[in-house]
Structure 1
Amino acid sequence: MSTALLAASQTLQALLLADLQADPVLQLLFPPLGTSVVSIATPDGMVAQDLTGVSVWLYRVARDEQRLNQPPLRLPPDRVRPPPLPVRLHYLLTPVMRSSAGDPAPETDQHVLGAILRSFHSRPLLSGSYLAGSLAGTDRQIAVRLENPGLEEIARIWDTLEQPYRASLCYEVGIIEVETARLDERGPLVLESAPSLGIAAHVLGEATP
């Protein structure tokens, strides 16, 4: 599905918001008691919109090389769907909090970082009711893994933003499958008998288009 990437972001967004709302201290900052949000905008995008909360920014999409040889899915009676494209998503999660005076709030930022770590350490695999968007109601399962990129990569990521560096976390989410809308024609399954064997041996084969 073409909405799988957005659905993965919405899944992280909904889970984090629920956990922040359940925190005895942070719940005062998030709805319904506060105005902070969990947004899929970049950190500088949140600042530009005068928003506080958590930025869940999808900054890189990478193909999963180990799952490229999946077989096509047969759709009766004479169609097959090419295998989906498996990808891994890389997120930068950044608290963008401010004090009542509008100044940076490093204490609150660190509290939020701890809440994020706890959320995904408690639930490294998300499925069932935790899935949101187009993934909701499916049997999909996505894994969330804390990454440890080097200083050079962190610097490169923040160089793309129009904001000074903030304490943040990097997570990898996978596997997300992007399905194709293309259907290929294939002949029907052929049922052949082998009478010379003395038994009704049936072989399933696939005819060419």
Structure 2
Amino acid sequence: MSDSDAVAAVTRALQVVLGRAAAGTAQGLRVTSKTPDEAASDHQDPPILNVFLYRTTIDGAWRNTDPPGIRPGETGRPALPVVLHYLLTPYVHDDPQGLVALRVLGAAMTALHDHCVLGPDDYDTDADLGDAHRQPEPVRITPADLSVDDLSKLWSAFQSHYRISAAYQARIVLLDSARPARAPLPVVRIGAEGRGPEAAPDPAGGLPVLTGVTPEAATLGTELVVTGGRLDAGTPAVHLTHPLFGTVALPTTAVGEHEARAVVRGDDLVPGPWSATVVLTGDDGTRQVTRALPLAVAPRIANSSLPLSAQPGAGGTVKLKVDCEPPVAAGQRVHLLVGDRPVPVTAFQGKRASKLVFSFPSSGPGRHVLRLRVDGVDSPVVDGDATPPRLDDDLAVVVT
């Protein structure tokens, strides 16, 4: 997701991509985002490649889609899905035959053909233009086929002489809604036992198979029970893999053909969605790897003194300092759920951080349940030792 600076961030990213690609086509080439009449009146010597945002539209397919991370039973205003329409125009004043301008335009079109998806490295993070580089849907650049009539109308509206140009679309830019989401507390107990159906594994072809991982969300120190078939075909090792942070091998104990156990620990673990596999190493060194199953590494509120207490400061703002275990990494989406209200984390320094700061407007004195949510994975809030299960009274903040 992105904030309202995303339109400027995407425009700046296009300037960065085109500046790298077209730098060698004309000496001193600058990439600007002026209006066409301003670019035409700029009579400085260096040539210009102008990236002009002339139109914005809304993508209907995304308009009613729930924001990423919203779960069943939670409510959140859909993001605003914006499509940006650009016109790329070269301006070379000392170019009698127009060949330099055509060379610049050709280099720009080739760059967007080869680099049609904006990645995190394309955004100018030093320009302080929000977090568009973190939105889950990458922005894609596609050519726009404008007719001669469309181009004629555009340049008439620009009140500028026509110049050879190329039109492109950038989609989708997701702008976060300013309205807060609501995340109700989880259901503590379902039915008499709260247990679902159980199935026995039936491996196909005699190959090792992984059919279940319990629990599906684990904190540091939790013992995982992995079930399947032919898990005794070698020395088992449970591996957790994250799409961004690599693979971590867990201390694993072999139990039998249908079960192995592992402890969730490791300095490289971060909260969020992981996948679990079992790697079986034979006596001759051969390795067999089962299919992957999802596993969530849940954050834990690790403050030494719980529940937390807070008083509103200037302007009625409450400031909370929360210790997170394991530490979160830069680039992860971190929220503190205060009751049913998600509060985004204040930016922190460094690649990893275990001490997080959250600020939110006070709604008056009261006691609010606290949960940490990192990349869609919540910290546990149920007291499993209580009978019947109930919410943990200590995981809360008391606002006076």
Q: Which residue of 2 aligns with 1:138?
A: 134
In structure 2, relative to structure 1, the CA distance for the partners of 1:49 and 1:79 (3 Å cut) is: farther
Q: Which residue of 2 aligns with 1:111?
A: 103
RMSD: 2.7
Q: What is the one-letter code of the residue matched to 2:91?
A: V
Q: What is the one-letter code of the residue matched to 1:55?
A: N
Q: Matches of 1:135 and 1:155 in 2, distance apart?
A: 36
Q: Which runs of structure 2 are paired with 1:164-179 in the superposition (5 Å)? A: 164-179=161-176
SS at match of 1:121: helix
In structure 2, relative to structure 1, the CA distance for the partners of 1:129 and 1:161 (3 Å cut) is: same
Q: What is the one-letter code of the residue matched to 1:42?
A: T
Q: Does 1:67 align with 2:62?
A: yes
Q: Which residue of 2 aligns with 1:8?
A: 10
Q: What is the one-letter code of the residue matched to 2:18?
A: L
What percent identity do the matched residue pairs reach?
A: 25
Q: Which residue of 2 aligns with 1:121?
A: 113
Q: Matches of 2:132 and 2:66 in 1, distance apart?
A: 25
On the 8 A contact 1:73/1:81 being kept in 2, the answer is no
Larger Rg: 2
Higher helix share: 1
SS at match of 1:153: helix
In structure 2, relative to structure 1, the CA distance for the partners of 1:68 and 1:98 (3 Å cut) is: same
Once the 2 structures are TM-superposed, how far is the Cα of residue 47 of structure 1 from its aligned partner?
2.5
Of structures 1 and 2, the one with the larger relative CO (CA 8 A, separation 6+) is: 1
Q: Which runs of structure 2 are paired with 1:3-152 in the superposition (5 Å)? A: 3-21=5-23, 23=24, 25-26=25-26, 28-30=27-29, 37-51=30-44, 52-72=47-67, 80-99=75-94, 106-132=98-124, 133-135=129-131, 138=134, 140=136, 141-152=138-149
SS at match of 2:188: strand
Q: Matches of 2:6 and 2:119 in 1, distance apart?
A: 14
> Higher mean Cα deviation, 157-166 or 41-50?
41-50
SS at match of 1:163: coil
Q: Matches of 1:11 and 1:147 in 2, distance apart?
A: 19
On the 8 A contact 1:58/1:90 being kept in 2, the answer is yes
Higher strand share: 2
Runs of 5+ in structure 2 lacking a partner? 197-339, 341-400
On the 8 A contact 2:15/2:51 being kept in 1, the answer is yes
> Higher mean Cα deviation, 65-74 or 54-63?
65-74
SS at match of 2:150: helix
SS at match of 1:164: coil
Once the 2 structures are TM-superposed, how far is the Cα of residue 163 of structure 1 from its aligned partner?
1.4
Q: Matches of 1:72 and 1:54 in 2, distance apart?
A: 36
Q: How many residues align?
A: 188
